[in-house]
Structure 1
């Protein structure tokens, strides 16, 4: 009778393509513009970007992006996904940009921005998943 071998179970991890530095910088520039449209304060930007320093945020707004760590690229990617979903859902740009600050039944009448300001990447991902489900993506 053959011997059974125990195999350690691991969680399925889909392959995630690496975001290049050029792509990260492009997303950072886009997020600077997006946050202006969302009327995000510098303090809120720091939280949404995982504790980005005020000095670094000021450099970003001036166009000097620099190197972006992997976890920050993930935040930027999710924020861009939220923007994309909103632009698909709403044909009116003002409604799309204003959505993040309006109370939302899906979040217990809390605006999506307040959810994202929880500070964790998973808070941003929660909003993105919701929007992706709404748009059917």
Structure 2
């Protein structure tokens, strides 16, 4: 006899990122960009073209309101970081990987792909790393 499994709701109980989660993610991404050795201009492009003053506030620890686009970018960046930490036992090699040319990206460095500014470029790098670590 078949028994139907109860379905779970598709929407999360907390539909938006909390202020605390946003601040933590912003701090983590700022530290990650430092480890990657990115200039402020490149970092701002990866975050969707943040204004210089807004990025300066982020670096000072005040991310302000994080909209859906920024939350998605932060999530993708954390996934990229996780993928690199899984693939490379030496964290420094993972940090360096983003700046090295890669045949998969047409000889361009992953950071160049991410700095194109669109969210799909971040997703492209994340998907590649997920596939490399067996995440698909």
Q: Give deviations 1:29-78, integer Å, cap 9, x for gaps.
A: 10000000001111101100011111111111111121111110000100
Quote the offset at 1:19 in angstroms. 4.6
Partner of 1:122, secondary structure, is helix
Structure 2 unaligned segments of length 5 or more: list them. Answer: 1-9
- Is the 1:19–1:73 contact (alpha carbons within 8 Å) kept by the matching residues of 2? no
2:122 is matched with which residue? 124
1:74 aligns with 2:80: no
1:53 is matched with which residue? 51
Quote the offset at 1:20 in angstroms. 1.6
1:20 aligns with 2:17: yes
Larger radius of gyration: 1
Query: For 1:99, which of 97, 100, 109 is the aligned residue?
Result: 97
When the two structures are aligned, how many residues end up with a matched partner?
Answer: 123
> Runs (4+) of structure 1 moved beyond 2 Å?
15-19
Moved more, 58-67 or 70-79: 58-67
Query: For 1:63, which of 40, 61, 64 is the aligned residue?
Result: 61
Structure 1 unaligned segments of length 5 or more: list them. Answer: 1-14
In the alignment, the residues of structure 2 paired with residue 19 and residue 92 of structure 1 have an alpha-carbon distance, to the nearest angstrom, of 34
Partner of 1:101, secondary structure, is coil
